[in-house]
Structure 1
Amino acid sequence: MTSIAQKIAIRNAIAARAANPAASSAPARKKGFDLEAIAAGNASRQTMKRFLTSIEGIDDATLSVEQSRAAAYAEQATAPVVRDTTPFRATIFFDSIESKFTNDGSQTNYLVMRGCDVTTPAGETVKRTVMAFGEARDRVHGMIFDGKDIEVDVYFSNSVIKVVENDTQAEAAAA
């Protein structure tokens, strides 16, 4: 944009604001946290954490009802999720499989199976990535080339599912 065009654009913007000051001014920002958004679960996780940090040293008796409601929801929403890591038997139907090597210098081979449908002990079928390391990789590798679906002991490891290395580990973890 040329300097003449910039000057004309600035002049027109100033004239437009002067003609309608209410439409061009941004609404004033409220100070503090939007407690209704926090209590309704519409605030970001980061905002909830900042809110909890801000009221950390305040006595619960001095908090308003809105602050107490927001604090209760924020604590629940930001609490760490505890997942059951108990091994269970699963039949794995996989879309694709990939052989990879670890980056730790040992160059250990492992398998990554993507798009797997896995039925949990609760009867829910979830689509997850399944990984097999060590002895589990060797067992699964043999099953893959048989052309069948894989039936093995697995456990949840955050968002992925890992194949249990050997049967003694599955028995020890279940005990």
Structure 2
Amino acid sequence: MDVRQLEYFLAVVDHGGFNRAATALYLSQPSLSQAIRTLERDLGSELFHRIGRRVVLTEAGTALIEPARTAVRGLELARASVESVHGLRTGRVEIAAMPSQAVAPLTGMISRFHRAHPDVSVTVRAAFTPRDVTEMVRTGVTELGLLASPAAPPDTE
């Protein structure tokens, strides 16, 4: 098992299927399928039920999501730590935001950040409720979350 396989697994989970994940990863669908089959063989367990063109996570696949996100984030953290010795030059930041916050103040903050760090990619993922925002940050889908709520942020425990 390697981190590339875990990234591919998470892409299938996050994009809801092999075809969309392959497109997002700029891979052929057969190459992605082969990498997932190799990961399943290494783990000794199927990660997806393949139902026609649909895939549904198995219990083993569901159990792998958080450890896979932790491993991928750990590798990204290792790279970022080494790069930070020379200052922030490249990398990626993913932000979960509710639609109203995605316009302001987030766009201004991203614009200022991009001027200071032009080679850092910033991705904003849509989250429709405060609970969605906190869940995306908690599970490692994003590093940051921006939400507005009249009450305290929802408890995710």
Same fold (TM over 0.5): no
| Structure having the higher Rg | 1
Q: Of Structure 1 and Structure 2, which has the larger fraction of its residues in strand?
A: 1
Report the TM-score, using the length of structure 1 for normalisation. 0.24
TM-score w.r.t. structure 2 length?
0.25
